[in-house]
Amino acid sequence: MPLFIFAPVIVALGAIGLGRLPVWQAAVVFLGGYGLWTLAEYWIHRSIFHLEPKSRLGSRLHWIFHGVHHDHPSDPMRLVMPPVVTVPLAVGFLALFVVALGPATGPAAAAGFFFGYLQYDMLHYTLHHTRPSSRVGRRLHELHMRHHFEDDERCFGVSAPWWDTIFRTGPRRTTKHG
């Protein structure tokens, strides 16, 4: 579902950006939006999805949004946020980009940000339902499965594990004895 919603939006916003900016500038802004997504992915996962609410309502909402995914990591219906959540958030982020960067630059940045989101969503689904064959894919799979099955307070960067390195939340080193 995210592909069918976000791919046309990314193309449209990218076209708007290309219509308002020189190609090189639109490309740089797009990459900047993508980079910002990778940081947002990390921080949303670490600080919001792994928040420990104190209230009963907060705990229930947390479980609905992310806890159920940890309780049932192989459930294909629990791997992506529903459009009723992602579409309003996307509208909010687009508005934020346009207000912060202006009507010429904002759409290109939003296109990169949404591209990052879509890439993350598709990768996350793939990591849960396939065994990647590439070296990078196998490493991303290993890190994400460690997050689910070894230590859910580490390895928050699903598509951007470099943030775990920067913020020192990568996998703990294991030592072999004997």
- Strand runs (DSSP E) across the chain, as ranges? none
**For residue range 43-81, what is the model confidence (pLDDT) as tens digits?**
999 998 877 888 988 777 777 776 666 676 777 666 577
The 10 Å Cβ neighbour count of residue 141 is 18
**For residue range 78-135, what is the model confidence (pLDDT) as tens digits?**
657 788 889 999 999 999 999 999 999 999 999 999 999 999 999 998 998 899 999 9
CA-CA distance, 9 to 110, in Å (whole number)? Answer: 9
CA-CA distance, 21 to 123, in Å (whole number)? Answer: 30
